[in-house]
Amino acid sequence: APRSFDAICDALQIILEKFKPDECSNYLRHAGYVQS
C-alpha cells in the first residue's frame, strides 16, 4: 500500500481517471451536493 504523499497522489490519479466526468457529477448530485 502506498505510504508517501506522492505515492497516494499517483494512486488517486489512476483511480480518478477510470471515472467519466458525468459519473462523478451524477454521484455528487445523488449524494445531495447541489451546485449553487
- State pLDDT tens for residues 1-36: 778 999 999 999 999 999 999 999 999 999 998 777
Which one-letter DSSP state was computed for residue 4? S
* pLDDT score recorded for residue 17: 95
If DSSP codes are grouped into helix, strand and coil, which group holds residue 13?
A: helix
pTM, two decimals, is 0.56
Query: What is the C-alpha to C-alpha distance for residues 17 and 14, in angstroms, rounded to an integer?
Result: 5
Per the CB < 8 A criterion, the answer to whether 9 and 3 are in contact is: no
